[in-house]
Chain A
Amino acid sequence: MSAIAARRRTLPGFGLTMGLTLSWLSVMILIPLAGLFLKSLELSPEQFWNILSSRRTLNALRVSFGLAFAAACINLVMGSIIVWALVRYRFPGRRLFDAIVDVPFALPTAVAGVALTALFAEKGWLGAPLAALGIKVAFTPVGIFVAMIFIGIPFVVRTVQPVLQDLDPEIEEAAGSLGANRWQTITRVILPSLAPALLTGLALAFARAVGEYGSVIFIAGNLPNVSEIAPLLIVIRLSEFRYADATAIAVVMLVVSFVVILAVNRLQRWAQSRVPAR
């Protein structure tokens, strides 16, 4: 072990590259983020609390967190179905559909925003038939929900897909030949093996949807207290030069993001401890 460590040190440049990495990381990422937390410390606890407990802030946080969680749940269910179809079945266009799962990653959010709005507006291709059924999507909270579903799809699919692909087929065959019916095999054998990946996908989709801005604001309607997301409220407070308000909301959102990162790291460790290394 120590022999390996000693040998690795024979390559040059560790001090230089590590120094550059830490410096640039600090300048670009850590100092700007620390600045945000420092700014929030200028607020007294009462001021901080007053900002967060104002009706408009609470409603914006409720809209962002509530709809992001609901959208992540839809992504969990539909993402699982998509992964199952892509991994287990052969159908025409499978490779194409597999490739386009990544579109929400690659499409700029503003483009997604105007496209979804055009699609779901009252005269849009999908908005018109939905309006005939009495369902209004664009410029309502439902629109926010739709945009958050769009942005979250790849997170669940790309997290679960490799795990299902690597799942040992013999486990299923064993369950089946021991008398489990297909439903029992899926719910009691396959789903538990996928659980860490499914939860990771859920957490990643949720985190992305909570912070999402570009694809949401066009379709949202942005009515205060109804369809106004927290990131938009930050932008509005900034444009009013109410930096304290913007900072307080941002700190709450950042803390939630950090909690999600920790949860995902834990989940990954859990996944590694359960599945024997192949």
Chain B
Amino acid sequence: MAMQIADSVSLSVSDAKARAAAARDNLRTEPRAVRIVIIALAVTFLTVFVVLPLVVVFAHAFSKGILAYLAALAEPEALAAIRLTLLVAAISVGLNLVFGLVAAWAIAKFDFPGKTFLITLIDLPFSVSPVISGLVFVLLFGAQGYFGGWLRDHDIQILFAVPGIALATTFVTFPFVARALIPLMQEQGTQEEEAAISLGASGLQTFFRVTLPNIKWGVLYGVLLCNARAMGEFGAVSVVSGHIRGETNTMPLLVEILYNEYHFVAAFAIASLLAMLALITLIAKTVLERHLDEGYAGDH
């Protein structure tokens, strides 16, 4: 009763403007029941397919207590896998960082025909199955491969060793840094660099003192995503690694081996480290995206 009176009072005092605004909003939204169903569907789907798999990793990793968890991570095999993963990621990220900077300079700062096609070629590894990314190096450097005989004669080991793992990882992470930098550097144009050159700076001075400070967040962003993929790559590395225990197993490969041998706590302990890497990457990515948005906005 009181509510009805309040309603009629508020109706009587509401001005035409408010009603018009409400009518405008009504044109752009759905009935309350529909809204609730859509939100519930979205939240349920993301919970089942994204949240629960993440939670299950940590639940299984700690299922026998924190001591079992730490013991699993202190195993020599686990430490060897962590070391190898860090080494391979350092090589791949380093190579792709240099390539990304060089390619972004050529593509973003100059006009030339076929630019779109060149970017498509750089993007290729994104659309190649990880297994095929490994296979191409087996066909090049394997015993029956194009360079297999030559490598054997010269006693050089690429496949089933660190160089092969680093090559396959570099292949799958190839586009990350370049793709982060090209749009950013295109947006920033060439005026500052031209000013530096006309004031007598050399090309390298211009790059390190003018360009690099402008794109530092973009560089970090590319390195972050490149590193996450490099440390987590499974399919390509699996094909070229040879799975030599304590030698050529990266962390994702060790997860597979421990899991297949029913060492579930150990498998999920290693998996939890990789899951934490993924979560830290996502948080850092969100922070960097804010910096990058400012960088883009500051230019307008």
Contacts and interface: CB of A to CB of B under 8 A. Distances in A.
Contacts of A99: 282, 286
Given A8-B190, A109-B232, A110-B252, A35 B129 contact: no
B285 A11 contact: no
Given A84-B38, A106-B282, A111 B110 contact: no
B70 interface: no
A126 B53 CA distance: 10
A33 to B, nearest CB: 6
B281 interface: yes
B278 to A, nearest CB: 4
B209 to A, nearest CB: 14
Interface in A106-131: 106-112, 114-116, 118-119, 124-126
Interface residues of A, number: 93
Contacts of B281: 106
A194 interface: no
Nearest to A243: B144
B212 interface: no
A36 interface: yes
Interface residues of B, number: 97
Nearest to B228: A106
A214 B51 CA distance: 19
B231 A108 contact: yes
A45 interface: no
Given A93-B43, A102-B282, A29 B27 contact: no
Interface string A1-39: 000110111111110011011001100111111011001
A173 B231 CA distance: 48
A116 B27 contact: no
Interface of B: 24, 26-31, 35, 38-39, 41-43, 45-46, 48-54, 56-57, 60, 99, 102-103, 105-107, 109-112, 118, 120-125, 127-132, 135-140, 142, 144, 146, 167, 170-171, 174, 190, 193-194, 197-198, 202-203, 206-207, 228, 231-235, 238-239, 251-253, 255-256, 259, 264, 267-268, 271, 274-275, 277-279, 281-282, 285-286
A-B interface, 3 closest residue pairs, ranked by CB to CB distance from nearest: A108-B232, A211-B129, A176-B27
12 contacts: A12-B203, A32-B137, A89-B38, A108-B233, A108-B251, A108-B274, A114-B256, A119-B52, A150-B53, A212-B129, A214-B130, A253-B129
Interface of A: 4-5, 7-14, 17-18, 20-21, 24-25, 28-33, 35-36, 39, 78, 81-82, 84-86, 88-89, 91, 93, 97, 99-104, 106-112, 114-116, 118-119, 124-126, 146, 149-150, 153, 169, 172-173, 175-177, 182, 185, 207, 210-214, 218, 231-232, 234-235, 238, 241, 243, 246-247, 250, 253-254, 257-258, 260-261, 265
